[in-house]
Amino acid sequence: MSRDASIGPWVKRFLLDHLVSERNLSRNTQRSYRDTLALFLPFASARKKKPIDRLEVIDLSREAIRDFLDHLEQSRSCSVRTRNQRLAALHAMARFIAERSPEHIDWCGQVRSVPFKRFVRRELSYLDKAEMDALLAAPDLRTRMGARDHALLLFLYNSGARVTEATTLRVGDLDLRVNQIGSAQLRGKGNKTRRCPLWPATCNELLSLIRNRSPDDPVFLNRVGQPLSRHGVHWMVRKYIRAVAASRPALANRSISPHTIRHTTATHLLRSGVDINTIRAWLGHVSIDTTNIYAEVDLQRKAQVLAHSNALRTTPINNKHWRDDLSLMNFLRSL
C-alpha cells in the first residue's frame, strides 16, 4: 500500500496543516472535524474488518459514509443537524485529498455526492423582556459567584456574544469607564474580531469583577480561579432558568441555552428600531442573510406592521358578478 493510498497521513495533514495553518479555523471547528474522524474511522475499520492504520482512502467509500450517517441517527440518536455537520467534515476532507492527489478525484466526487439531509428548522427561541429581566434578577448578588453570574448574564445580553466569545474574553479586551458606555473586543468565528458597545450598567458590573486583575486574565473565572468553560456557562444558564421557572412555568418546557440569550439580544435590538445591518455587525455575522432570520421570527413586529398598514385594512368588497358589470362587458367587447 502506497503512502498516498493510506488514509492515516492524509488525516494528519488535514487536521494539523490544512485546518490550522492554511484555513486558520476556530478551535471549536477543529475539534468538531477531529471528533467526526474519531467516530468515522473506527466505524469504517469495523465495516471493512481492517485495522485503522491499514485503512486506505478508497475504504472510506460513499456506501461506508451513508452507513455511518445512518448509524449516527439510529444508534447514537444524533439529530439531522449533527448528521449534516459530520458529513460536512467528511466532504471537506475529501476535497482536501482530491486537490493534492489527482488519482483520488473520482473518489472525492463519489464522497461529495452524498447529500445533506433536509430537516424542519425549529422556530427561533428567545426571551421576552420580562423573562430576560427575571433571568437577570435570579443570581444572588450577595455572593461572589452570584455577582459573577449576574455580570456574565448581563454581558451576554448586552453583547449578544457567543459562549466561546465570552469564555475567551480577556481583561485587556475591555474598555470600561464608571457609569459610561464602554466596549469589549470579541473574537468570533475564524478569529475575526469586533468591538461591541457596553451599557454603563454592564461596565460597572465588569469593573467590580476584574478589579486588580492582569490584562491577560480571563474575565469570567470558575470557583477555583480557572477560566470558565463553555459547559460551565450552559450549566449556569440552566440553573437560573430552573429558578425563574418556579414563577414562570412556561420556561420549564422550553430549551433555553446561552445562545437563546444571543437570539434575545438580536430580537430586542430589532424591536428597539436598530437597523438590521447594525445588528449584523453587533452579532458578528458575515452575511446579512443570517441576521434576517430575526426579522422573520419577530411576530410582535409583524403584528405592529399589520395594525398600521393601510393596504391591509378591511374594505368593502364588491360582490357584483362580472356578467352584471356593464363597464367590464363593454371593455371586453372593445378588445
pLDDT tens, 193-229? 999 999 999 999 999 999 999 999 999 999 999 999 9
Domains and CATH numbers, the chain: 7-112 (1.10.150), 129-307 (1.10.443.10)
pTM beyond 0.85: the answer is: no
Residue 309 has pLDDT above 60, yes or no: no
Question: How many percent of the chain have pLDDT more than 70?
Answer: 86
pLDDT tens, 275-295? 888 888 889 887 777 787 777
Average pLDDT taken over every residue of the chain: 88
pLDDT tens, 1-34? 455 689 999 999 999 999 988 888 888 889 999 9
- Predicted pLDDT of residue 173: 97
> Which DSSP string corresponds to 257-324?
-HHHHHHHHHHHHHHTT--HHHHHHHHT-SSHHHHHHHHHH-HHHHHHHHHH-GGGS--------GGG
Average the pLDDT over each of 125-139, 188-202, 241-255, 319-333 and give the range with the smallest value: 319-333
Residue 289 contacts by C-beta under 8 Å, 6 or more apart in sequence? none
- Predicted pLDDT of residue 274: 86
Residue 325 has pLDDT above 80, yes or no: no
Indicate which residues carry an active-site annotation.
Answer: 162, 189, 259, 262, 285, 294
Q: Over range 122-136, report the average pLDDT.
A: 89
- Predicted pLDDT of residue 293: 74
Residue 121 has pLDDT above 70, yes or no: no
pLDDT tens, 159-192? 999 999 999 999 999 999 899 999 999 998 777 8
- Predicted pLDDT of residue 144: 95
The helix-helix angle for 258-271 and 230-245 (nearest 10°) equals 70
Written as nine digits, the cell of 168 is 475567551
pLDDT tens, 246-256? 999 989 889 89
Q: What CA–CA distance (Å, rounded) separates 181 from 55?
A: 58
